[in-house]
Amino acid sequence: MRNIKLTIEYDGGRYLGWQRLGNSDKTIQGKIEHLLTQLTGEKIEIIGSGRTDAGTHARGQVANFKTHADIELTELLATLNHQLPRDIVIKNVEEAPERFHARYNATGKQYSYYVWNDTIPSAFERNYSFHYPQPLDLNLMNEACEKLLGKHDFIGFSALKKTKKSTTRTIEKLSIEQEGSLLHVTFVGDGFLHKMVRIIMGTLLEIGTGVLPVSIIDEVLENKVRATAGETVPAQGLFLDEVYYR
C-alpha cells in the first residue's frame, strides 16, 4: 500500500470549501477524489491538513491518500494537472511514509490575509482581498498583534460553540506589511480554530479605525465571548500559505 502526499494550490472563489459535501461537485476535496478514483480504479479518499471555508484560497494545502495503484508520480502529477479545473493545481506529488497523516502530523500553519485599504476599489484585487476603505492606524493594529502572540485560549476569536476539545493555540507570528494600498497580514501558529484568522482580522480592522480599543484583545481572551470581538471578514482575502511538518 502506497501513501501519496500532495501539495495543492487553489483559487477557492467558486467552491464551497475544501471538505467534500455529499453529492456536490463544488468542493476541492471532491474534485480531486473523483479524478483519483478514475485514475486508480479504486475508491480514493484524501485526507487534508484541515478544512478551508467557501471562498478561501490555498498556496500550500497538503493532503495524502493511500492506493495500491502502480502509477508513476511524474505521470500522476501531469495527469492531475491536465484534467483538474484550472483553478486547482497540484504543485507536488511524493511518496510519504506509511504512517504519514496530513492532518494529525501537522505541527503548524501559515495563513495570509489581504486588505485593499483605499477609498477606490481594485479591479484586479477584488477576488483576493477585502476592500476596506476606512483609514487605518497601523500602530494601534500592531499593538493589538503583540497582545495576541503566545499561548492563549482563542475560543472568543472563533466560530466554535462549546467543545470538549482544547481551544488553546499558540500564535508565533502576527505581522502587518503594507505595499501601497495593499495590507498583507501574516499569521503563523501551531493551529487555528474555525474562522479564527478571519475574526482576529476583523477585530484588528475595527481597532485600526478606532471602533474598538486595543484593550478589547485582553477582554476577549479573558471573557472568551465571541460577541465581544470584531466582525468576521470575508473569505476571499484569506490564503493558506503553508503547512508545517517535522
* Measured distance CA(193)–CA(60) in Å, rounded: 18
Q: Which of 80, 68, 72, 70 is nearest to 36 (CA)?
A: 80
SS3 content of the chain, % helix, strand, coil (to 5): 30, 30, 40
Q: Which residues are catalytic?
A: 53
- Let me know: does 47 contact 102? Beta carbons within 8 Å: yes
Dihedral Cα 198, 203, 205, 209, nearest 10 deg: 160
* Measured distance CA(59)–CA(11) in Å, rounded: 9
Helix, coil or strand: residue 221: helix
* Measured distance CA(208)–CA(205) in Å, rounded: 5
CA 32 to chain centre: 18
Beta-sheet pairing, 57-67 with 2-10? antiparallel
> In which residue are the cell numbers 511538518 written?
245
Beta-sheet pairing, 238-245 with 150-153? unpaired
